[in-house]
Amino acid sequence: MTQELIDLRTCIQEGRYADALAILDELEGMSKQAILRNIQAYLKILLIHLIKNQLEQRLTNSWVASIRNSLIELKKLNLKDNKKSCYINLNEWDTYIEDEIEVAVRDASVEVLNGIHNEFKLAEMVDKNQIIQTGLKFLALTYSYSVKELPAVVAENLIQLPGGEDWKSGRR
């Protein structure tokens, strides 16, 4: 990116505004790609913890924190600087989840049930459609609630997951 900024300065100083605009378009594209990569990373974390919940039928404070924090970060990252539009609209998440679900299953194999199943066995065990639907439900919350409201709303929705009532009441 440093070279692009140097080139941009040179183009402006030399009055080559069409070239400068082309460089700005390139920089904007690079910025968007970086944001989308961060979004995908938090999406994968969300999916891994939903997979763990599905297969172990429980929730831990650590998993809850990871799910909540992933959703808060996804909300923040997804909102463009104008605070009025998003990089990924609510109806566009399917593609992103489908891209991340396979990697999430494989990565979850290290943690689910203390890693007793390899990624191939875990892939057979996971109900991916259910994980996708649960993920979409949680992602939808990021469009309806502020960052301030999100933790409480996420907690109320987590109670509905397997083991959620036990988590709420402090039973394990």
Alpha carbon distance 107, 124 (integer Å):
14
CB within 8 A of 100, min separation 6: which ones? 40, 43, 44, 47
Token pair recorded at residue 159: 């109670």
Residue with tokens 């460089």: 23
pLDDT computed for residue 116 by the predictor? 93
Sign of the CA dihedral running 49, 55, 58, 60: negative
pLDDT in the model for residue 1: 63
pLDDT of residue 12: 84
- The backbone region for 112, taken as left when phi is positive above 0, alpha when psi lies in -120 to 50, beta otherwise, is beta
pLDDT at 3: 83
Q: Give strand pairing partners of 79.
A: 86
Query: What does the pLDDT read at residue 33?
Result: 86
- Listed by start position, the domains of the chain span 36-169
Strand partners, 86: 79
Task: Copy the structure tokens of residue 11.
Answer: 């183009």
Task: Please tell me the pTM assigned to this model.
Answer: 0.87
**What pLDDT shows up at residue 42?**
98
> Would you state the pLDDT for residue 91?
95
Stretches where the chain sits below pLDDT 50 are none
How many angstroms separate the CA atoms of 100 and 97, rounded? 5
Task: Give the per-residue pLDDT at 30.
Answer: 75
